A and B are shown apart, each in its own frame.
Chain A
Amino acid sequence: MNSWHVDERALRAYAERELVALERASVEAHVMGCGSCRGELGRVARGSVGTVSFEDLWGRVQTRVEVAPSVRTARWLQRIGVADSDTVVVRQIARQCLQWTIAATLVLALAALAATLGLHDSAQLGFVLIAPLLPALGVAATYRLTPTTTAALEITSPYSPARLLLWRTGYAVATAVPASVAFGAVIPGDPWMAVAWLLPGGACTALVLVAATWTDPVRPAVVVAVSWLGIVASWQVRHVPDAVVTPSTQLLSLAVALAAGAVFARRLLVLRVPVL
């Protein structure tokens, strides 16, 4: 049995969300174990919040405790304008694709390590091969790593498949790009290399995105990956390993990305797939 109780002023401040995090946690911890204060909180809440019932308020307290570990991520996402319900989707994608994120970062780290060990050519070749493909492969990975039956529940839900595809693409891009830019900066050679892969990477990702409106994204991702490997191999054969930084490659990549983006938008219109 508790020998102390939260005073009314603190309960009112809690109900009106005016306490700082530490104070809120303290009140929550006490209220969860003290029936008397729960009752008092209900009375205070009815008076101070008006339309909020005690049941609702107590539900919020429980939920706050239940989902506490992911609250920080959600708040950060909401701060950049992501709707609360979408933060649940993004957190779910991130949770499922943790292995992918770790693997992608490790691969890039290996390329950077090779550079620091003096294997400049190998490091550069590895980076040009991998960096543009990571976002595209990431999109496929977000689908591949979703358990089949969870995917069945996604398919049979009213949530827009285009919206889900875009969130998965956004996640793949957001996790791959910063790491690629960072590791690209430590690889010797043309200083533009750290960012020159962005447009080819955008083109690869856009191609997978548009193909995903017809089929499972895994197959187009494999086709795009094999094609990119062929292009890089041809540069090696022609002794132009820095071809990725040339204006022609950049312009061609931009054209492919824009064309794929236009086809994607057209597909959404034709299929009447809402994004929002």
Chain B
Amino acid sequence: MNLTIRLDHVTRRYRDAVALDDISFQIGTGVTALLGPNGAGKTTLLSLLSTAAAPDNGTVEVFGHRADGTLAERTAIRRRLGFLPQEVEFPSGMTAFGFLEYIAVLKEWNDKTARHREVRRVLDAVQLADRPTIKIRKLSGGQRRRLAFAQALIGDPDLLILDEPTTGLDPEQRAVFRATLSERGRHGTVLLATHQTEDVGAVCDQVLVLDRGRVAFAGDVPSFIDSARGRVWVDDAPVPDAVASWRDPNRRVRSVGGEPPPTAEPVDPTVEDAYLLLVGPTPGVEVAA
């Protein structure tokens, strides 16, 4: 595994609130999921890694460069980075092509022919190649999300940092998106902050879970799922002291955690089960029906 990201005893505060509390971890090539409840520090972590902010303590290194170092060091990181913020508010009056061309210029695509070819490539990658001249305000929510994703793909960056990329995508688009991420994870690094635990099982190699500013889990996906083995059951009624219970597609009640009654049958855990056991249910986490 080639090391892409290294955090060493990083702390970041906002006035009295500690967003990240003395965290250390490393991320290499492949797709890594970043999970955590709202307010766990995910967005703060992404802003540090994308060089938009600096830590109060500790070091953040990306490709061996300090993310809070000199402008030359930050620029070296930025040249290899594709970043998708959680919400992308597009400039008014722009077309899809115009927006992507602007981002391409910011990414130093100075040659006009090559730049236009690159814009068409990423439009094609997100299945918007037939809508380059449409005004962004006329695009649907899912199309805007795909356009936002397209800007992160410009220049085929070695590191993709994506904050909630699948929000607003329909199942078919999510399948295309997952295929794109899997492909990129083979030769680069993708850090995917998400609440959609299905995406983790489908495309991720590693999992990093943040909870209240600290690392609650860092490891590969099978280990993460295994951490819940023997603690997930189905029965006709919920387990009283379970972390979470819900009715599965077979109309039985799936319970995570707690002491099961003798009638409960153990089942194979999922990423979602492991996550719920680790941090408990939160309003931000989608629980599958």
Using a CB–CB cutoff of 8 Å, the interface residues on chain A facing chain B are 56, 59-60, 62-63, 65-67, 70, 83-86, 88-89, 91-92, 95-96, 98, 146-150, 152-159, 161, 271-273
Contacts and interface: CB of A to CB of B under 8 A. Distances in A.
B112 A84 contact: yes
Contact of A66 (B52, B78, B132): B132
A56 B106 contact: no
A59 B85 contact: no
Given A60-B113, A149-B88, A153-B85, A88 B107 contact: no
Interface of B: 50-52, 70-72, 75, 78-79, 81, 83, 85, 87-95, 97-98, 101-103, 105-110, 112-113, 115-117, 120, 132-133, 151
Given A92-B91, A95-B92, A149-B89, A157 B78 contact: yes
B52 A155 contact: yes
Contacts of B113: 56, 59-60
Nearest to B117: A59
A272 B70 contact: yes
Given A85-B115, A95-B94, A154 B120 contact: no
Nearest 8 A/B pairs, CB to CB? A157-B106, A147-B89, A159-B106, A158-B78, A85-B110, A63-B116, A88-B105, A156-B50
B87, B90, B101: residue with the most chain A Cβ atoms closer than 10 Å: B101
Nearest to A146: B91
B94 A67 contact: no
A88 B101 contact: yes
Given A56-B117, A66-B97, A156 B83 contact: yes
Contacts of B51: 155-156
B4 to A, nearest CB: 16
A83 B110 contact: yes
Contacts of A150: 88-91
A186 B157 CA distance: 55
A67 B97 CA distance: 8
A156 to B, nearest CB: 5
B98 A67 contact: yes
B107 A96 contact: no
25 contacts: A59-B116, A63-B97, A63-B116, A65-B133, A66-B95, A67-B98, A67-B101, A85-B109, A85-B115, A88-B101, A95-B92, A98-B93, A149-B85, A150-B91, A152-B50, A153-B83, A156-B52, A156-B81, A156-B83, A157-B106, A158-B78, A159-B107, A159-B108, A272-B70, A272-B71
